[in-house]
Structure formats: structure tokens, C-alpha cells
């Protein structure tokens, strides 16, 4: 019923949204003699924000048509390497790579399946493209998948990652952004126990909930306050018509978005106030940046109910991975088996979703991994989103990850290790408490 009410509310706003859009065009028309008066600019800005707030947003475009390599602009082509029911393995193929000129490390970026589209990590891809052969998990909106198709849970997620690593082959590197840190570490643990030849050379986990008992955030506390049956009754609903996934049980993206906004309600209210001021003042560049951020932020997708519920129970309630009690299919998930894959953990000082110490726990539950294959970075003054997008990501975090990858790449490694010692400022190679 909740999803039906949401759709009714969305459709009921359509006439008002259309009127608001028409008013905005009329007020901003060059033929309007009062277009530059304060009152008209305020009315036009109000109409603009109303239309923006009531609009539904589909999957954004990647818009990564080029990258810059050695000062030269290079064309980038999107290529779907594997097509699965719930996810495509997308390859960003660079022109120099097609010509055989580049032999950069293979990098699999595991985008979060937590309510937003994979395009949320566009900044991550953009920063890594010049120096890596980049692949990414491009998740699909569950409401667009017919109920007759396969189900998808946390075990399937781990299976997908193992399959993708087998396709990409040995000496692949992985970056797990937030939520996928758990299935990524699980996949590496299982493959390590197998002695798999396609084991990734390195795994970087960014703001991931490896052990949510450490510095619990509001998100972690909510998961612990209610039994799993409460989540099944209150936040799992059926997809309504006319979506292709009608009657499929999902955790709706609009609930996740509401929770994210509620966590920082005053900050978002202030941000929209700034957008209004930019529009009134005619600061189009600042307004466009603010609008673009929210168009990306408010583009949400539905999650499979079985995946959501299993994740809540396994990761946030039972803490199965750090306890050594997690099972993927019939395979015990034991990080102690990891001896060959280098691990890097990155956390944000101001992260209000994954608290300090939650990601670093991965270094503590891998006792058989050598210290020189472990690295930790605490980014000062950085929140959750800033760990993989924005200025501090580009200037500090991404360069550290690139150096880490090159140091542990099986083909490049030896030549990069010397440089690593002098360039990894703020990173503790043993997983200690040094900050950067």
C-alpha cells in the first residue's frame, strides 16, 4: 500500500508541476518586461525549485565520453561486457587502449547497491580512468525486472563478483565503495580458500560496514533496534503497476532517499535555500552545480527485498563477517584465508553512515595477511560522500589508491614500491591510527 500511495502522490502533483514549469518559462522569458525585477526573479526561482522537488528522476547518464591521458584528450566508449538480470559489467574502453598503447592495471569498481544508481560514483570512475582499465558493476532498478526472473540476495551478489573476477582474469584490482565492502571481502575470502588463480591483486574498501559494532552510527542503531521481521513488515512492499516488476517485493528507493535526507534534514534545507539565492541572484553556474548534485542524489532505484533483508540481518544485526560466522552458499567466509590480496581501508572523519573503525576492521580480521599488504587512511574533514566524490577525493584519496594499486600490481609492483614509501603520506601501512 505504501508504494501505491507514493505513486498516487507523485501522479497527483503532475498538473501542479506542469503549471510551475510553464510559469517559470513565462517569468524568465526575454519578452517579459519585468523579468529582472526582484519580485519576478523570486517567483521564477520558487517555481523552479517546486518543479525540481516534485520531479521523478530516472537513471542518469554516465557522460564520460572522454578522459585526459598525458595531457591528451582521449575518447571513451561504454561497453557492456556481461549482461546479467540484476547487473551489467560495464567497461569504459579508452581509445588508446583500443590501439594497444595502454597497459594500465585492470580495475573493477564495485558500485553500491543501496538505493542510488551506479552513476553516483561517476567521480570515482572519472578520477581512475586516466591510469586504469576501468570496469564497474552497473546495477539495475529492481522495479524494472519482472517478478518471473531470478531472485537476488547477498549470496548472489558475492557470486556476481566472483564471476566478474573470473571474466577479467588474474591481476585485477577492486575498489568497493561503501556497502559492497562486505560482499567484496567475502568474495576475496572465498576465492582465497579455493586458491583461485583469479584472486584480485588488491582490494580497496571505502567507507564500508565491515564491523558495525565499532562507532555505530544512526543507521547502525536503527538496524539493531528492530527485529528483521519489523523491516519485512514495514519497509518491504510490492511494486505497483505499470512497472515491469509489478508485484515484486522490494525495498523502495524513495524510502532510502527519505532516510538519507532525514539524517541531514537541516543541511539539505540550507542547501535548497542556497539554490534559491543563486537563482534569484542569477548565479547560473552555482545554481547548475547545486541542481546537478540533487538530480543525481534524488535519482533512486528499488532493491530486491531478499537482498535487503539478508544484508540487514547478516551485516548490521548478526555481524557475521567479523565474527567468522558468515556463509556464502555452502562456503564459510573466513577472511583469515586471505594471504595474497593486498587490502586498503579508507574512512572519513565525518562519515555519518559508516563510523570510524568499521572499515578498518577488515585489517584486524585478516591475521595471515602480511603487514606490507595492508594500508589504512583516515581522511580528515571528509564525510561519506566525499570519500569517493569531490575535491578531497580527487586531490588526496584517489592518488593514494592509485599508488597502492601500482605497488601491488603483479606486473608493475616492484618498480612502484620505492615510490610508495615516500608518497603515501597519511597512510599507515600496518593499519594503525595514523591520520591523513
Q: What residue spans define the domains of the chain?
A: 2-56+259-297, 66-223+304-428
Tell whether omega for the bond before 242 is within 30 degrees of 0, i.e. cis: yes
* DSSP letter for each residue of 369-392: S-GGGEEEEEETT--TGGGTSSHH
Longest distance between any two alpha carbons in the chain, whole Å: 74
Residues 249 and 238: beta-carbon distance below 8 Å: yes
pLDDT at 81: 95
Please, what is the end-to-end C-alpha distance for the chain in angstroms?
48
User: Residue 162: beta bridge partners?
Assistant: none
Identify the segments of the chain with pLDDT beneath 50.
99, 414-426, 429-436
Instruction: For the chain, state the CA radius of gyration.
Output: 23
Q: What is the pLDDT of residues 166-224, one digit of tens each?
A: 999 999 999 999 999 999 999 999 999 999 999 999 999 999 999 999 999 988 998 99
Order of all β-strands in the sheet with 249-251: 237-238, 249-251, 303-304
pLDDT at 423: 36
Q: Rounded to the nearest 10 degrees, how much is the dihedral formed by the CA atoms of 250, 251, 254, 259?
A: 180
Look-up of cell digits 560522500: 385
Q: How distant, in Å, are the alpha carbons of 209, 397, 408, 423 from that of 415?
A: 33, 21, 10, 14
pLDDT at 349: 96
pLDDT at 97: 56
Q: Please work out, in degrees rounded to the nearest 5, the angle formed at the alpha carbon of residue 88 by the alpha carbons of 296 and 171.
A: 105
Q: Beta strand 106-110 with 202-206: parallel, antiparallel or unpaired?
A: unpaired
Residues 275 and 298: beta-carbon distance below 8 Å: no
pLDDT at 284: 83
* DSSP letter for each residue of 305-355: HHHHHHHIIIIIIS-HHHHT--EETTEE--GGG--SSEEEEEEETT-SSS-
Look-up of cell digits 598525458: 70
Q: 208-236: string of b/e by CB count within 10 Å (b at 16+)? A: bbbbbebebbebbeebeeeebeebeeebb
Determine the Cα–Cα distance for residues 211 and 194; give it in Å rounded to an integer. 24
Annotate 212-257 with three-state secondary structure: CCCCCCHHHHHHHHCCHHHHHHHCCEECCCCCCCCCCEEECHHHHH
CATH 3.40.50.1820 fits 66-223+304-428, yes or no: yes
pLDDT at 432: 44
The length of the chain is: 436
**Predicted TM-score of the model (pTM):** 0.89
Determine the Cα–Cα distance for residues 157 and 183; give it in Å rounded to an integer. 7
Residues 388 and 354: beta-carbon distance below 8 Å: no
Please give the grid coordinates belonging to residue 111: 558500485
Q: What is the pLDDT of residues 378-398, one digit of tens each?
A: 999 999 999 999 999 999 999
Amino acid at each position: 500500500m505504501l508504494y501505491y500511495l507514493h505513486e498516487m502522490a507523485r501522479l497527483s502533483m503532475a498538473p501542479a508541476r506542469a503549471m510551475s514549469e510553464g510559469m517559470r518559462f513565462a517569468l524568465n522569458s526575454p519578452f517579459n518586461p519585468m523579468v529582472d525585477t526582484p519580485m519576478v526573479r523570486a517567483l521564477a526561482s520558487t517555481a523552479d525549485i517546486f518543479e525540481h522537488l516534485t520531479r521523478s528522476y530516472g537513471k542518469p547518464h554516465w557522460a564520460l565520453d572522454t578522459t585526459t591521458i598525458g595531457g591528451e584528450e582521449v575518447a571513451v566508449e561504454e561497453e557492456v561486457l556481461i549482461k546479467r538480470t540484476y547487473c551489467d559489467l560495464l567497461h569504459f574502453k579508452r581509445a588508446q587502449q583500443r590501439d594497444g598503447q595502454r597497459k594500465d592495471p585492470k580495475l573493477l569498481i564495485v558500485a553500491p547497491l543501496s538505493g542510488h544508481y551506479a552513476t553516483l560514483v561517476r567521480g570515482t570512475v572519472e578520477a581512475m580512468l586516466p591510469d586504469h582499465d576501468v570496469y564497474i558493476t552497473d546495477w539495475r532498478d529492481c522495479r524494472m525486472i519482472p517478478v518471473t526472473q531470478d531472485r537476488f540476495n547477498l549470496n548472489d551478489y558475492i557470486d556476481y563478483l566472483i564471476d566478474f573476477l573470473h571474466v577479467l582474469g588474474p591481476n585485477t584490482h577492486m575498489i568497493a565503495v561503501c556497502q559492497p565492502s562486505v560482499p567484496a571481502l567475502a568474495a576475496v575470502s572465498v576465492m582465497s580458500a579455493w586458491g583461485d588463480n583469479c584472486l584480485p591483486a588488491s582490494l580497496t574498501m571505502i567507507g564500508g560496514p565491515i564491523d558495525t559494532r565499532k562507532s555505530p552510527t544512526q543507521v547502525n542503531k536503527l538496524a539493531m533496534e528492530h527485529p528483521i521481521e519489523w523491516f519485512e513488515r514495514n519497509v518491504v512492499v510490492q511494486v505497483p503497476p505499470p512497472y515491469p516488476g509489478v508485484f515484486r517485493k522490494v525495498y523502495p528507493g524513495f524510502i532510502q532517499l527519505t532516510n538519507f535526507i532525514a539524517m541531514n534534514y537541516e543541511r539539505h534545507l540550507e542547501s535548497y535555500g542556497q539554490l534559491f539565492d543563486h537563482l534569484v541572484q542569477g548565479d547560473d553556474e552555482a545554481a547548475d552545480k547545486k541542481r546537478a548534485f540533487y538530480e543525481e542524489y534524488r535519482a533512486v532505484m528499488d532493491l530486491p527485498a531478499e537482498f535487503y533483508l539478508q544484508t540487514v540481518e547478516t551485516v548490521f544485526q548478526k555481524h557475521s563477517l567479523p565474527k567468522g560466522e558468515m556463509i556464502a552458499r555452502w562456503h564459510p567466509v573466513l577472511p583469515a584465508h586471505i594471504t595474497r590480496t593486498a587490502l586498503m581501508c579508507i574512512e572519513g572523519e565525518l562519515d555519518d553512515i559508516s563510523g570510524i573503525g568499521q572499515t578498518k576492521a577488515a585489517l584486524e580480521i585478516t591475521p595471515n595477511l602480511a603487514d606490507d599488504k595492508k594500508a589504512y587512511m583516515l581522511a580528515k574533514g571528509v564525510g561519506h560522500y566525499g570519500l569517493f566524490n569531490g575535491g578531497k577525493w580527487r586531490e588526496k584519496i584517489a592518488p593514494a589508491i592509485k599508488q597502492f594499486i601500482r605497488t601491488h600490481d603483479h606486473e608493475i609492483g616492484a618498480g612502484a614500491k620505492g615510490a610508495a614509501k615516500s608518497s603515501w603520506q597519511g597512510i599507515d601501512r600496518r593499519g594503525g591510527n595514523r591520520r591523513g
